Amino acid sequence: MPEILTIKHLSKAYFDKTGILTAVKDFSLTVQKGEFIALLGPSGCGKSTILSIISGLIQQTDGEVLFADDIKTAYMLQSDQLFNWRTVYKNAILGLEVQNKLTEENIVRVENMLKDYGLYEFRNHYPSQLSGGMKQRAALIRTLALSPDLLLLDEPFSALDYQSRLAVSDDILRKIKKEEKTVIMVTHDISEAISAADRVVVLTGRPAEIKSIYDIHIPSETESLIKKRQTSEFSKYFDLIWKDLDIHVS
Ligand SMILES: Nc1ncnc2c1ncn2[C@@H]1O[C@H](COP(=O)(O)OP(=O)(O)OP(=O)(O)O)[C@@H](O)[C@H]1O
Ligand SMILES: [Mg+2]
């Protein structure tokens, strides 16, 4: 598999009135085309900072981010909001509109995604008329509408309660995996990371450094990510990662 992205010795320090805060330290990773990577780490460790640097939204203090030629990247920010004054359809085409890519072909693709994600009947509704899961799907379509080669997702399901989260994430992640896109997804949910990813990168507390990396191999008869959670391999990874994260309840 060809490499799509190489990150070398990435570091990020924020400077403000109170001094320096190091958010990311010596982070290196090579991502292959078609891989699904989960970045897993404790709250506030520097996960969003890493994605924002990869997307080019902010600058690293040190290190390199190298892309293969002509890679289109799309970034779904943590709590990416829909615009309340635009309909679902108008939200979905926003990125295309901004980038001046509202071609017939792209419009048809968005319409097909709206059908695929169960939102077509709601295309003329406003975000306030949607459930949390529907909003999340609409935000994802907006991100996917740009046909990215590399998809950066920051806690895409965090706004949902546990039960809808399981169903919505199972559904959406399967759809994304079917498209064989390259994905880097930030999460603090161990189960979500293991069930969705080919590789789980476990980060330390701030500053985010790589603690461990797991290649995930779960034999599964179905594509259901929920079913994967019931296998013994899943429990094995869960135990290892839980230990790595070193979570204390005080
Ligand atoms: N623009 C900024 N200026 C100063 N400090 C910042 C800035 N952005 C983030 N930080 C700090 O950097 C650290 C890492 O933040 P970041 O948002 O990357 O963590 P995270 O792992 O995504 O957190 P969460 O799990 O809460 O989403 C935090 O301590 C945060 O307060
Ligand atoms: Mg974050």
Q: Sorting pLDDT into bands at 50, 70 and 90, what band is 158?
A: confident
Q: How large a percentage of the chain has pLDDT more than 90?
A: 70
Q: Which is it for the CA torsion 77, 79, 83, 86, positive or negative?
A: positive
Average pLDDT over residues 172-176: 83
pLDDT at 220 over 80: no
240 in helix, strand or coil? helix
Q: How far is the CA of 154 from the centre of ligand 2 (A)?
A: 7
Token pair for 168: 């919505």
- Please give the CATH architecture assigned to the domain spanning 30-59+149-250: 3-Layer(aba) Sandwich (3.40)
**Structural domain boundaries of the chain?**
30-59+149-250, 81-148
Answer yes or no: is pLDDT of 136 > 90. Answer: no
Does 43 sit in the ligand 1 pocket, CB within 6 Å?
yes
Q: Name the pTM for this structure.
A: 0.92
Please write the tens of the pLDDT for every residue from 71-85: 999 999 887 789 999
Q: Is 118 in the pocket of ligand 1 (CB under 6 A)?
A: no
Q: Is 59 in the pocket of ligand 1 (CB under 6 A)?
A: no
Mean pLDDT over residues 230-236, rounded? 93
**Cβ pair 160, 216 in contact under 8 A:** no
Report cis status (omega within 30 of 0) of the bond before 219: no
Give the number of the atom of ligand 1 that is nearest the alpha carbon of residue 78. 27
* Strand (E) or helix (H) holding 236: helix 232-245
Do residues 50 and 21 lie in contact, with contact meaning Cβ atoms separated by under 8 Å?
no
Instruction: Give yes or no for residue 12 CB within 6 A of ligand 1.
Output: no
Kindly give the distance from the C-alpha atom of residue 112 to the centroid of ligand 2, in angstroms, as a whole number: 31
Two tokens, residue 116: 């695929």
Beta strands in 33-119 (DSSP E): 36-40, 62-67, 73-76
Q: Determine whether the shortest distance from the Cβ of 45 to ligand 1 is under 6 A.
A: yes
Q: How confident is the model at residue 20 (pLDDT cuts 50, 70, 90)?
A: very high
Backbone torsions φ then ψ of 67, nearest 5 degrees:
-105, 150
Phi and psi based region of residue 70 (left: phi greater than 0; alpha: psi -120 to 50; beta: remaining) = left
